[in-house]
Structure 1
């Protein structure tokens, strides 16, 4: 059996890093029995954030497909993406996941999920981004270091 190509060794799979704090926050809020009444603006902002996620992450995935590199978190990387959202963020898919998190929390009126948003951010950073950066440095070398010096981690 041939060796599998190298890939990032996540501590936490990114969707899990985002889903667990959301579900815990939402669940604790329901358990306590207190919900967030933020009014109509929350629904509008929530839907805008969900739409931003769909367009932004869809654009990123299209770029992955065009460059024939791993689409899913943890797959091996064969190309350094520097166009589209990758001009603004080294981690636009994770930025999109956090926008989705906030949008869904607002749509659900969940203060518990909103309060735990920093935990999702920290889970992505520690669980996925730091291991992924180490992998990309080892796999792509100097081109990645140059890209890293030009483009911010988040936005």
Structure 2
């Protein structure tokens, strides 16, 4: 059986490849860029934090699998707990990719006034206004359960902070761009789950 760090690195690599491929496909289909972090204010810090957490979630377990001495675990989880963490990570990655795919041409990375797509309120967006972020947090939280050391916990905390900061920006932009339709959606569907 492959090592847990190798499984984590592979899962994160597959998730990031799917994320980038779906982003490129969405941009082509919409005939406009999907990367909006540079266009809107207050997104520099969340953009940096997303990049750090995702890069770290890929590189750290890969380095562990290659023999890097690991940070001490805070609690040594049992094998069933580690497997449950991997299942949570897998489920989170699949949920995030499914939600991103479901957004179709409305998919954006970042948010900027005048660049909002149509409201997507079907599929996973009936359960959460932010299912991609929910899945991403599940992904990294699963890794933290699998290996609860200071590095993995910090990567998860950085992602949670990035998500919280970014959601505030996106909600402001969507309310400005989409008005009453977005406010009605906010009333019907919870922010997280």
Instruction: Decide: shared fold, TM above 0.5.
Output: yes
RMSD: 3.1
Matched residue, 2:86 = 47
Among 36, 48, 69, the alignment partner of 2:106 is 69
Q: In structure 1, list runs of 5 or more residues that go unmatched.
A: none
1:147 has 2:185 as partner: yes
Among 82, 95, 103, the alignment partner of 2:134 is 95
Q: In 1, distance between residues paired with 2:161 and 2:127?
A: 20
Once the two structures are superposed, the pairs formed by residues 1-155 of structure 1 within 5 Å of their partners are 9=40, 10-11=43-44, 12-13=46-47, 15-16=50-51, 18-19=53-54, 33-35=71-73, 36-65=75-104, 68-70=105-107, 72-74=108-110, 76-107=115-146, 109-112=147-150, 113-114=152-153, 117-126=156-165, 128-155=166-193
Which is bigger in relative contact order (C-alpha 8 A, separation at least 6)? 1
Query: How many residue pairs were aligned?
Result: 143
- The TM-score, its normalising length taken from structure 2, stands at 0.61
Q: In 2, distance between residues paired with 1:33 and 1:43?
A: 16
- Note if contact 2:50-2:162 (Cα within 8 Å) is conserved in structure 1: no
- Note if contact 1:18-1:124 (Cα within 8 Å) is conserved in structure 2: no
Q: In 2, distance between residues paired with 1:51 and 1:129?
A: 23
